[in-house]
Structure 1
């Protein structure tokens, strides 16, 4: 991530006692970039299912939206 780029952190968790705010704080504390919740250059997605964790750092326009794809098919 370049210094002038922004990010957003999204946490999706199931069956985990970890707190979303703690996860976001731990990640954000290690980054000097600015946060943009509405128009970020990068999306940091943290997915937690019990004791398994997945992390993605991707541009927001590459996130698959099933609902969006269904609407495109209907048009």
Structure 2
């Protein structure tokens, strides 16, 4: 997977996407976190299929929530 030189979206744009999904479409924040974590775990497994252990490190705020859900899903997947 190639990483683009320019970010696809700025942080403020992503916050606005989340806000609109939650407020206008009624999608719970935890559902958004679970979707992000599921996609991240899928990508990790595709890139490193033989890895048996991962370490999730994250800061505060919503990113910490995403990381927590990723760690929970990875643990449940074995």
Flag whether TM exceeds 0.5 (same fold): no
Query: Which has the higher relative contact order, 1 or 2, with Cα contacts under 8 A spaced 6 or more apart?
Result: 1
Structure having the higher strand fraction is 1
Structure having the higher helix fraction is 2
Q: With the length of structure 1 as denominator, give the TM-score of the two structures.
A: 0.30
